[in-house]
Structure formats: structure tokens, C-alpha cells
Structure 1
Amino acid sequence: MKPLTRTLLSAAAATLLTLAGTGTPASAADAPYDVLVFSKTAGFRHDAIPAGIQLIRDLGAANNFTVTATEDSNRFTAADLSQFEAVVFLNTTGDVLNAAQQTAFENYIRSGGGYVGVHSASDTEYDWPFYGELVGAYFASHPAIQQATVRTENRANAATAGLAPAATRTDEWYNFRTNPRSSARVLSTLDESSYSGGTMGGDHPHTWCKTYQGGRSFYTGAGHTQASYTEAGFRALILGGIRYAANRAKADCRPETGYTTLYNGSTTGWSQAGPGSFANSDATLTSSGGLGMLWYSAAEFRSYSLKLDWMMPGDDNSGVLIGFPAGSDQDSAQTSGYEVPIDATDTADRTTGAVYGVKAADLAARDAALNPPGEWNTFELLVEGERLQVFLNGVKVNDFTNTDPARSLTSGHISIQNHGTGDDVSFRNIRIKELGGTAPRTGPITSAAGKCVDVSGASSADGTKIQLWRCTGGTNQQWTVAGNTLRSLGKCMGVAGGGTANGALVQLSSCTGSGGQSWTAGANGSLVNPQSGKCLDANGASTADGTQLIIWSCHGGTNQRWALP
């Protein structure tokens, strides 16, 4: 296979088409590559094979790849296969390779080669387990040729990015022996209520992609009829599948189950903060103006996998913000939470996949995973406690752990950013999977004597005394454990002036992330301020209402024992 070279920014943008559209999509300029089309049959032979070969030749001529078509299985040698970035099994049937040829193809895939299966490629090599896992599922049966509704589940892959969310077309609709969803990323499904003869029920995958033993696999059940090969949507599907298999278009093809849709056309639950806005069309949000954000105000999240698809047409700027409290504007959301930006030309700590201004992205991994402007990309932001991992098209490009006590990833809202005039970034299919784990804890902090930690007078002014008081259930006795901070009335418990001496006063003040506002659980129920190495202490071991809280050398006494919510 030829070495892969890619240009980060390209003047040619992908043309988005619907199934009802015309023409073939022009991809961003790919480095030249070679494709082998294999159409040998040992069973039923489709009369659409010549049309399929001609289609792929036409696609190659328009999209910078050369095509070699063959039915000679002797081409399956290590030397021959090494010339090709992808091999298309075009309506193959039956046993088409001998044992040595199978071994050569297995080694080709393991060395990073690509496979594309069209229609009856799943009716091929039933006794070759490697092939069955590579294709994803074997053919079981089909009803008569008829119209059916195809629903596009993933519109980020190059094969399906230009397709409508749902469309009706005519083909021979395959039922499969197994459901490939557990091992592949399903790109489209069949709506069995729209035709007769489906046997897979409410989840009938039709097109999917996957990585397998070092290589890439793309399969579609479409392509029985000669007419299929004249359809613009089908042509776009095959081109995108070839580009993915040849490693020219990047995609997250990991299996995906259990996600809840936050946006896939409906903006219910979303609110705009700040200037600018998002247009909502074709199940796609497109930013304009700013600096503002569209945030999911209906719920906050903790311990989750957030996925969303995005595309920028040129050198544009946007980001995804997470971990901020309700009611934030864009600026405060960025300082109380974190932004993962979308701008491939910015500095390392502000570029695609970075944690904005805090931790640079792995630029080598980022460059290898990133599709250029005009093509869709997928982010996964995986939040587990204070750890944030960023995946771009399925590749990890950042791994960050929050240690700033003024911020916390343990709970908060999410948003997409509209950066400003001319920064027109589009988003699709925003979905989330909550992973469970420990919820942010809110409630009283009690002393060993049964008194509550109390904000004097329920005042939220900076410098307000924090004291012991009988427990009343008031809001000034409600504390949220957020990372290494203890928060009440929207502010943080901290040591006055960041002091470290015995007797330094503990008070309420605006959360700044300073060491004086950091607290960790120590031995015997103690709360330790790591900056000073000293413990939260009820002054003079008093239990009286109004006793000032201070820091003091840790000694394990009852006036240094606390029960958190």
C-alpha cells in the first residue's frame, strides 16, 4: 500500500447530497490510492456486477484512485494485495478463495488494509470465520424486490454524510443471520414497517463499518439492482465506504449502544446564552454570530460519554463546553467548566481536541485522525469523575485530569459554542450515555458534636464567617462536595488570605481555584487543607453556636472530625 499523506486544510469541500439528489460528491483532495474490485462468484451471479465495476471506475476517475477489476482469485497474494489500499468484494457469492489466498487476505487486513463489501459479499465464504467477522454478518434470506424506507443512523461517516435522515428506494433487502451492532457502528437501518418480508424486527442494520484486526471494514446490503448503480445516493455511499476503507476518510466505527439523543433535529431542552444563534435545518445545527453558546438546560450530567458530530467549512472556530453550572453565560461557563475547541489552526492548547488553555492535544494523533474542512468529524468526550478523555473519530487525542478546585467535572451542563461572525460550524447527532458513579453530594457538614457547618447570617458576601451552629436545614448549611472544593451559596469555603498558620480563619469567598479553597478527606474524619497541611478545626474545641472555624495542626481531636454529605 502506498504511504498515506494528507493535507489538514483543503480548498475542496465535500458536497452534501440527499438520496434524491444528482451527481457524485466531490471529496476533499485525497492522496492517490489503488482499489481492487473482486467480483468472482461461486453461486448466484448478479447481473448488476458490470454496472458496479463501471461505477467504481467512474468514482476512481473523479476522486483520485485507480481501479483494477478482477475475478481471478490468484491475485490474492501478499505481493499483489500490497499494491491496494482497499479491496471491494462486489456481489461475490460462495467460496471464492482457497486456504492460501484466505491467509494472504487475512495478513493484508492485519497490516492495515481495507475491505468493502457490497450486497451479496455477505453471501460469501460461510466456512471462513475470519471473513464472517470482517464482513460483520452473513446473509440469511430476502423477500421480493420492493420499496423500503432506509433510515440513516450516523451521518458523520463519509459514506452517509450526504444522505437524508430517511429515504425510500427500491432494492433487494437482506435479512442477516446475526445483528452486527455489537461489533460494528451501524450507519443505516431498514424500517421493516415500510415493506414486507423483514425478519430482524425493530433493529435491522443495513449498512455498517468497523475496525478489525488492524484493518477497516465497510459493508452495505444495498446494490442488487442495476438501477442502484445510477442513484446519486448509492454512488455517494460506495465512494464514502471506499474512502473509509482506504484510510482516506476518518470515522469513529466503534460499536455504539445505549446513547440518549440530546439533539437530532429537535432543540427541545436547549437554550441560547449570549449573542448569535444556531440555525436548525436537516437535523443540523449551524452557528452564526457570537460569542455565545447553545446549552442543554434540561439536565446536568456526571460521569458520561458525550458524542457529537461536527463540520467546519473552512478555517473556522467553535468548541464544546462541559462541566459548568446552570445559568452561566459563555465566559463564565468557560471559567467554571472546560472547553474542548474545534479549530485545527490554533495553538496546541487551543486546537481541535485540546482542553482550552490548559492541556494541548496530542498533535500527531490529532492530525492522523482529523478530517479536513468540508468533511464531518466525531468527538467523544468521556468524563469519569475529574478525568476527561477526548476522542476524535475514535482516536484518543487528549487525557486530562482536573486539579483546579475552582472547577469540577463531576457535574454540570454541556453546550456547543457559536464563536463569532464567519465561524460557521455545524453540529449533528448530539447524544449522551450516562455511566453511573457517585453523584455530586449536597447536604450538611456535621461535627462530632452534632453541630452543622454554617455560613454566618446566610450571607454570600466574600469574607463571611464560617462557624458552628445548631442544624436548621437552611441553605447556609447546605454544602456541595465538588471536586476538592466545599461550596455553599454559590461560593467556596477557604482559608482567609490563603493563610497557612495555625488559627487562620475559615470563611466564604468567591471560588478562585486557590490552594486555600482546597480540601481533602484525611484520617479520622478530618478535612485537610493541602496547601497548609492543616485541618479544619472548631476554635478552642468549643461546640457553642457561633464558634469560628479555623485551620490548625492535625491532631485527631473531636473538634477536627467532620461528616461530609
Structure 2
Amino acid sequence: MLRHLTPGALGRGAEGDRKTSVLRRLSATAVALTAAAATLIPAVPAQAAAFKVLVFSKTAGFRHDSIPGGIQAIRDLGAANDFAVDATEDANAFSTANLAQYKAVVFLSTTGDVLNDTQQAAFQTYVDGGGGYVGVHSAADTEYGWPYYGQLMGAWFNNHPAIQQATVRNEDRAHAATAHLGATWSRTDEWYNYRTNPRSGVRVLQSLDESSYSGGGMGDHPITWCHPQSSGRSFYTGLGHTQESYADPNFRALLLGGIRYVAKATNADCRPETGYTTLYNGSTTGWSQAGPGSFADSDATLTSQGGMGMLWYSAKELHAYSLKLDWKLTGDSNSGVIVGFPATSDPDAALATGYEVQIDATDTPDRTTGAIYGFKAADVAARDAALNPPGQWNTYELLVEGERLQVFLNGTRINDFTNTDPVRSIQQGYIGIQNHGAGDVASFRNIRIKELTSTPGSTSAVKGVGSGRCLDVSGGSPVNGAQVRIWDCTGQAGQQWTSTSAGELRVYGGKCLDVNGAGTADGTAVIIWDCNGQNNQKWRVNADGTITAVGANKCLDVSGAGTANGTKVQIWTCNGGANQKWSRV
């Protein structure tokens, strides 16, 4: 075992290959921490700090000389942003009791096998129970023999070219880690290639333009990402090789945003996102202004001016879709997103014939953020837990399926509304963003859409995102009770699933995907059975790729996140893992 390094010790060597009460401001207090070589970090009160962070920098392989600077940078960020920092290289800190005092654990350029089985189990329990993980740079070069860590981190290191300048594309500019950056960022670092592309299982925040440097080998090249992990959160960045990185204000802000995200001090939609088409990301082609006022267009950001008017996407009428957009308010401003209205140059007509999903920091419950304005209030508790306050970015997903409109705020569902007004129709019409009036300043970024094509009557294979294998009836058997599993995609009849308007997934014509015995417990097997219309045979296909058992309100899940042929399929509490994500093929 390597000797424990105090925060001031220098390592040598080279590397080879979240307007709510929970965010009330506390006085920022610099926390003086004594360097200690004790086996465990004592569970002491955090004093005036809002939360505590553990920085772990043990190396069992190559060691970065930037580690001391990284520890100091995180200490500086904590002193300035109201969190306390402990640093250690002692893996014995990974016990259930000790980890319980921290909101986030940072793996700072760790390498190799740094935790034993007992420590791994404690850390997994910590994260899945709501803790936060931040991985920096060679955290991806760590714990290759531990599958859970690979899922938590997103992708393992493969190789890298020489240190050089490259262009970073900032794909998500709503996350606290990247909101301060422009569309691109030119910087010098050591640019990792990864063994697999993590995009299908994470929300990519930054990627590399491989044409801007030499030695990229991935094509689509994520470099910074985040994702929910059971009840916890994960954030990883491949940046941070060089000592200079930790003195860079932009990189420090990236680290701060990642730490605050996993510590649940700020919120973001970190669900995996694929298949979306850009409606606005700097160009207003296809958009038309209705009514007074306007939107200023700068830095791929639309900012409202005057009103009351509406900027609407006039290029295409929409039906079933997932609409995502990032928004930010100043103070007690007012705005909204309007859906399901006929083509019009009159914003009042759009409001009278469609529905407005409200954006407003303060108002009556049916007229504040997340409400279907005047019709249905949001789930206030869920909304307040997910909402970032004025001055910070938030992300909406508006999911339209038939006459049902679901509203997700930073990845959390906060409203579920069904239209019963025969004069209106959510599923047929246009979408627009509101400029409410003088003094109401709302900004929007990255408006994108995924049109939903998996409609009742479609038949195809259903592939697991995490495993790459298909939903399959064991042995191709059409008998009642046959276990459903994953298997290599073969196109055979036992892998052809038909969705119906009743919410069934049928196979062999008259057999339905069925939760055995109408069970609701985690681990209940999924089988096939004669279709009978019961709730244990009804499934809801969600925009994020999950499939929910209606009767149990749990997700279709590959047991143990397995990837091998024959791994059984079950229901389990929805946790955002790749083993609960599915796609039609």
C-alpha cells in the first residue's frame, strides 16, 4: 500500500496511459482543516458549512503531479462556496459510518485498484443511498475489475495522445458545471480516448472536436458527463491532467458545478439523451414572432424583451413528442411554454386554444412554475425539490402522448395532465415560448425535440441499452409462464414485441409481457401469459427509454445489470440505470 499523503505532500511520477428554502444562503466560512494521517477521518460537525466533501486521491498505478494542486483548488472552492473539504488517500475512509458525513466524494486522478471488496460495498451503498460521486481525469483509469464502478463512472480509459490544445464542444449549457461557458472552449489538456462511448447511459455535457487535435480515436467523443445513479448522482470529467488546469477559473467552475450537482445543492436533467433534433441552438430559422415584444438572440441564447408576445416554431406542426428546453428567469419574472395551438399570429389566440406550461417564480399554485396555467398545479413538493432559483438554469421536458402532457423539471416529473376539453388538443398543434412583458426577463437555450414514432401497432425487437441484447422469451417457448430474459438479437418471433393502445407488449400474437402473479416487489419475475387486460400486463414506454410496469409502478430491469445471454428480466424500483433503458430496433 502506498503511504498516506497529507494534503501538502507532493506526489511524483507521470501518468501512462441547485426560488426554494433548501438553497438558502449561508455565510461562507473558510474552514481550517488540519492535515492528518489518521486511518479514518473523524465524523465532526461541518460547523457553518452547508455540506462536506471527501477528496480521495489514492493511486495504485501512475500518479499525477497535479493532485496537490487539485486538492488545494477544491479546498479553495469549498471555502468560497460554503462546503468543507477533507482529503485522504486512506481507503479505510470508505466505511458506511464514515461516508455518511459527506454529500460528495471526489475521486481525484485515482489510478488502479484502490478499494477492497468491503470498501467497494460501502461506497456502492453510499452512492445508491443518495450520495454523490465526482470523477476527475484518471478516475477513469481506476477499478477495472469492479463492474459497478464502471457503470457509476460511465466509461473506462483506453489511451491518450500527447498533451495538446483542442476544442471542447459544450453540448449542455444548463448544467451548473458548464453554464458559464460558451458554445466551444479551447484549452490544453491530455485528451482521453475511452474503451466505450458512454452516451447511451449518461447525459453528455461536453465532447471533443476530434478535428481540432491529433490522436482522437472515438469519432463521437464525450469528455464530461453526468447521470443519476439509483438515489445518488454521478459526474465525471476527463479534463484535469495538468497542474495549470487547477488554476484556471473556467475549469474550477466546472469542478464546482459537478460537486454541487452530485451534492444536490443544484439540480440538472442528467438523464441520458439521444435522438433529439435541434429547433434552436443559435439560429431562429423556422421561428416566427407573434404579437409585441421580441427575443434577443445572442450566444445561442434567446432573451425576452417586452410583450406580451410569443416566439413560435412555425416550421412544423407537432403531434407526439418530447420537447426539451433550458430556461432561466431573473427575479420574479414570468414566462411560459405554450403547446397544442393552431397556427396563429395572435399570442392571445394561442393561449386560448393551447395550454401554457408556466414559468414563474411566485404566483398561485395553478399559475406558478410547472403548472398547466389555470388548469392544474404542479406537484409543489416535487417541483420545489427539483427547482433551481432565479438566476440559475433549469431544464423542462414536455412529454406529449395523445392528450396527455407530462412536465419534467430537471429530470423530475412534476405534473401529469390529460386534456378533456373537446375544443383543445394537446397532440395537434405548434409550440412557442412567451415574452411576457416589460421587466419580465426569461432566457432560453438549446430547444430540441424528439418526435415519438413508437405508436400502438408497431412491432419490433426491444434492445437493452446497457446490455446490447434483446428482450427475449426463454427458449422461444410460447407457453404461459415462460421467463423473459435478454439474449443476442436474432429477429426470431420470441423477440418481436407489438405495442397496443391498451398499453400491452404482445408477443406470439396473444401472449403479453406480464409481471408474475401481479407482484409489486423488487425482483418479481417478468414472464409471458395469455393477454387478459389486467394492470400487471400494462406497460408505459417513457421518453427516457425506461418501460414502467403500470400495476407495480416499477421499471423493466435486467437483473443485476447483467449483460450475459440468459440474464433474467424483472421489475425493480426505477433508478435511471442503463439496465433499465430500452430502445426499439
Structure-2-length-normalised TM-score: 0.70
**Could you tell me which amino acid in structure 2 is paired with residue 416 of structure 1?**
I
Contact 1:88–1:116 (CA under 8 A) maintained in structure 2: yes
Residue of structure 1 aligned with 2:436, choices 419, 429, 432:
419
Using the alignment, how far apart are the partners of 1:392 and 1:103 within structure 2?
32
Residue 187 (structure 1) aligned with residue 201 (structure 2): no
Output one character per residue of 1:458-483: Cα deviation in whole Å (capped at 9) or x when no partner. Answer: xxxxxxxxxxxxxxxxxxxxxxxxxx
Aligned to 1:143: 161
Secondary structure at the residue paired with 2:377?
coil
> Matches of 1:422 and 1:32 in 2, distance apart?
33
Q: Which residue number in structure 1 is paired with residue 450 of structure 2?
A: 433
Q: Does 1:246 align with 2:260?
A: no
Matched, 1:343 2:357: no
The equivalent residue for 1:134 is: 152
Q: Give the counterpart letter for 1:271 in structure 2.
A: S
Cα distance in 2 for residues equivalent to 1:331 and 1:437: 33
The separation in 2 between residues aligned to 1:74 and 1:99, in whole angstroms, is: 12
Q: Is structure 2 residue 191 aligned with structure 1 residue 173?
A: yes
Q: Which residue of 2 aligns with 1:77?
A: 95
Question: What TM-score do you get using the length of structure 1 for normalisation?
Answer: 0.72
Q: 1:394 to 1:73 in 2, by over 3 A?
A: same
Change (3 A) 1:213 1:53: same
Structure 1 contact 8–370 (Cα < 8 Å) conserved: no
Mapped partners of 2:346, 2:274: distance in 1: 33
Offset of residue 437 of structure 1: 6.5
The reply to whether residue 312 of structure 1 matches residue 329 of structure 2 is yes
56, 59, 62: which is aligned to 1:44?
62
- Deviation (angstroms), 1:213: 2.0
Of 236, 249, 256, the residue aligned with 1:232 is 249
Aligned-pair distance for 1:258? 0.5
Q: CA deviation at 1:328?
A: 4.2
1:333/1:9 CA distance change after superposition, 3 Å: farther
Q: Which runs of 4+ in 1 moved over 4 A?
A: 8-12
Q: Note if 1:300 corresponds to 2:314.
A: no
Q: Is 1:6–1:31's contact at 8 Å kept on the other side of the alignment? A: no
Shift of 1:359: 0.6
Map of 1:94 onto structure 2: 112
Distance in 2 (alpha carbons) for counterparts of 1:347 and 1:248: 26
One-letter amino acid of the structure 2 residue matched with residue 436 of structure 1: T
Amino acid across the alignment from 1:211: P
1:103 aligns with 2:121: yes
Partner Cα distance (2:115, 2:423) in 1: 62
Whole-angstrom distance in 1 between the partners of 2:346 and 2:57:
58
Matches within 5 A, 1:343-362: 343-362=360-379
Matches of 2:385 and 2:70, distance apart in 1:
31
Deviation at 1:344, TM superposition (A): 2.4
Q: Number of matched residues?
A: 418
Contact 1:303 1:437 in 2 (8 A): no
The residue matched to 1:229 in structure 2 has which SS? helix
Secondary structure of 2:206's partner? strand
Q: Measure, in 2, the Cα distance between the counterparts of 1:275 and 1:267.
A: 17
Which segments of 5 or more consecutive residues in structure 1 lack a partner in the other structure?
13-29, 440-565
Q: In structure 2, give the amino acid aligned to 1:194.
A: S
State the secondary structure of the residue aligned to 2:365: coil
Match for residue 481 of structure 2?
none
- The alignment status of 1:64 with 2:82, answered yes or no, reads yes
Partner residue in 2 for 1:489: none
Q: Provide closer, same or farther for how the CA distance between residues 393 and 405 of structure 1 changes in structure 2, counting only shifts above 3 A.
A: same
- Provide the rounded CA distance (Å) in 1 between the counterparts of 2:286 and 2:247: 41
Larger Rg: 1
For 1:85, give the aligned amino acid: K
Structure 1 residue 31, shift from structure 2 partner: 7.4
Q: Partners of 2:246 and 2:455 in 1: how far apart? A: 53
Partner of 1:217: 234
Structure 2 partner of 1:322: 339
- Give the Cα–Cα distance (whole angstroms) in 2 for the partners of residues 54 and 157 of structure 1: 24
Maintained 8 Å contact 1:363/1:397:
yes
1:291 aligns with 2:311: no
Cα offsets for 1:3-48 (capped at 9, x unmatched): x995378799xxxxxxxxxxxxxxxxx9700000000000000000
SS, match of residue 166 in structure 2: strand
Among 21, 24, 39, the alignment partner of 1:7 is 21
State the alpha-carbon separation in 2 of the partners of residues 437 and 100 from structure 1.
Answer: 44
2:418 maps to a residue whose letter is T
Distance 1:428 1:233 in 2: 20
User: Contact 2:23/2:265 (CA < 8 Å) preserved in 1?
Assistant: no
Alignment match, 2:44: none
Query: Residue type matched to 1:351 in 2?
Result: T
1:464-479 alignment, distance < 5 Å: none
| 2:168 aligned with 1:154 | no
TM superposition shift of 1:376: 0.3
Distance 1:418 1:135 in 2: 40
Structure 2 counterpart SS, 1:349: helix
Matches of 2:49 and 2:387, distance apart in 1: 15
Q: Is the 8 A contact 1:9 1:373 kept in 2?
A: no
Secondary structure of the corresponding residue to residue 131 of structure 1: helix
- Match of 2:169, SS state, is strand
Structure 1 Cα separation of the partners of residues 281 and 21 of structure 2: 31
Partner of 1:281: 298
Find the aligned partners of 1:438 and 1:211 in 2 and give their Cα distance.
28
Q: Which amino acid in 1 is paired with 2:135? A: G
RMSD: 1.7
Which secondary structure state, in structure 2, belongs to the residue aligned with residue 52 of structure 1? helix
TM-superposed deviation, 1:329: 1.3
CA contact (8 A) 2:203 2:227 kept: yes
The answer to whether 1:399 aligns with 2:413 is no
Shift of 1:375: 0.6
- Residue equivalent to 2:4: none
Contact preservation (8 Å) 2:60, 2:111: yes
- Alpha-carbon shift at residue 314 of structure 1 (Å): 1.1
Q: Which digits, 9 at most, give the CA deviation of each residue in 1:278-337, with x for residues without a partner?
A: 000000000011110000111110000000000012111000001001124111101110
* Aligned-partner residue type, residue 160 of structure 2: H
Unpaired runs of at least 5, structure 2:
1-17, 27-47, 457-585
